[in-house]
Amino acid sequence: MIKKVITTALFAATLTACKSTPPADVSLMDTPSVRYKLPLDRAIDIRFNTYNRCVNSGSSGCGKYDNIKLAQGKDSILVERRVHNGIAGSGAVFSIDKKTERTEKATIVTYQPVKMSSYHEGLLFSFGIPKLDITNYLSQSQFKTKFEVDSDYSSQSVKANFDRLMQKASRDFRIYEENTNSKLDLEDYYMVDLDGAQVVMLIETFPYRDGSKVVVNAVVQSKETGSGLVDVSAILKSVEEKVSQVVKS
C-alpha cells in the first residue's frame, strides 16, 4: 500500500512539473534605446540575428538547444531567447517599441525596450532563464548594400589590388538570413573593419570600355559603440570610400 501511494505521488509530481510557470514581467523602460540613422536615397533592410543551434549533445542526440526568434510588426518587435531539450525549456521574451521619424537629412528608427517576460516549462530538470543583453543585440544588426565603381585599370589589375590591400573574409562570418545559417563559401569575399561596423564584400570585376567596372555586394554588420546610434549613412559612405581607394590604387 505504501509503495502504491509513493508511486502515485511521484506520478502526480511529474505531471505538475510539466506545467509552465506564469510569465514574470520586468519593465525595461529605463533601458537605453538604440537608434538607426538611415539614408533617404535608398531602402535599407535591417536584419537582427536569429539562430537555432545545439549546444550540448551526447550519444542519444542533442540534449540542449539555444535559439533566438524574432517577430516584427510595423511599430514593435518581439525577441525571444529560448533554451530547451526539444520539448520543454525556458525563455525570455523582450517587447520592443519601434518608432520611425523622417527628417530633412535622414530617417531615424528608434528601438526602445519596454519589458521582458520570462517563463519555465517544467519544474523537473528545467533550464535557467537565458540571458540576453538586449541593447547590445539591437546594436549588432546586418544590412546589405550594392554599388558600382568604374576603374581605368583592367579587371586583373583591380582584382590584384583587392588581393594585396584587403583581407580575405573569414568563412566563419555568418550572414543573417531567415531559416538558414548562411556562411561564406566563395573565393572573392573580402573583409574590412570600419568605425562602428565590420563589412564583408563580394567583389566582381568586368571589362568596361577602356578599363573595368567593379560590382560590390556588401554585408555590413554593425557594432555596439556605446553611443546608442548606428549611423548607417556614415557606414555606407565609408564602405564606398574604402572600395574606391582600393580600385584606384
What confidence tens digit (pLDDT) does each residue in 187-211 have? 678 999 988 899 999 998 999 988 9
User: Which of 6-10, 50-54, 138-142, 240-244 comes out lowest in average pLDDT?
Assistant: 6-10
- The count of structural domains within the chain is 2
Pair 25, 134 in one domain: yes
Average pLDDT over residues 164-180: 75
**So what's the pLDDT on residue 1?**
46
Pair 206, 113 in one domain: no
Helix/strand/coil percent split, the chain, to 5? 20, 50, 30
| pLDDT range class, residue 213, cuts 50, 70, 90 | very high
Q: Is the pLDDT assigned to residue 6 strictly greater than 70?
A: no
Pair 106, 57 in one domain: yes
In the chain, the percentage of residues whose pLDDT exceeds 90 is 64
Closest CA to 215 of 207, 227, 203: 203
What is the CA angle 169-173-175, rounded to 5? 115
End position of a domain, from candidates 97, 120, 139? 139
Q: Which residues pair with 17 in a beta bridge?
A: none
| pLDDT range class, residue 123, cuts 50, 70, 90 | low
**So what's the pLDDT on residue 177?**
67
The whole-model pTM stands at 0.82
- Cβ neighbours of residue 55 under 8 Å, at least 6 residues apart? 64, 65, 66, 83
Pair 183, 213 in one domain: yes
Pair 160, 120 in one domain: no
- Cβ neighbours of residue 229 under 8 Å, at least 6 residues apart? 34, 35, 36, 37
Pair 124, 54 in one domain: yes
13: in domain: no
15: in domain: no
**So what's the pLDDT on residue 102?**
95
Q: Which amino acid type is present at position 104? A: E
9: in domain: no
Higher pLDDT among residues 124 and 95, named by residue: 95
The runs of H, that is alpha helices, within 142-189 are: 155-165
Higher pLDDT among residues 126 and 144, named by residue: 144
CATH, residue 239: 3.30.530
Fill in the DSSP letter of residue 121: B
223: in domain: yes
Q: Is the pLDDT assigned to residue 127 strictly greater than 50?
A: yes
End position of a domain, from candidates 139, 158, 184? 139
Q: Is the pLDDT assigned to residue 170 strictly greater than 80?
A: no
Pair 107, 169 in one domain: no
Q: Largest alpha-carbon pair distance within the chain?
A: 96
Identify whether the C-beta of residue 68 lies closer than 8 Å to the C-beta of residue 135. Answer: no
Pair 79, 156 in one domain: no
What is the CA angle 231-237-243, rounded to 5? 135
8: in domain: no
Average pLDDT over residues 80-105: 94
Q: Is the pLDDT assigned to residue 181 strictly greater than 70?
A: no
End position of a domain, from candidates 83, 116, 139? 139
| pLDDT range class, residue 22, cuts 50, 70, 90 | low
Domain hosting 63: range is 21-139
**So what's the pLDDT on residue 185?**
54
The runs of H, that is alpha helices, within 114-176 are: 134-139, 155-165
5: in domain: no
Pair 230, 193 in one domain: yes
Q: Which amino acid type is present at position 12? A: A
**So what's the pLDDT on residue 15?**
35
Let me know how many helices (H) and strands (E) the chain has, helices first. 4, 15
Q: Is the pLDDT assigned to residue 61 strictly greater than 70?
A: yes
CA dist 29 and 33 (Å) reads 9
Pair 119, 204 in one domain: no
**So what's the pLDDT on residue 179?**
46
Pair 53, 100 in one domain: yes
35: in domain: yes
Average pLDDT over residues 151-179: 84
Pair 149, 131 in one domain: no
3: in domain: no
**So what's the pLDDT on residue 176?**
78
What is the CA angle 12-91-139, rounded to 5? 175
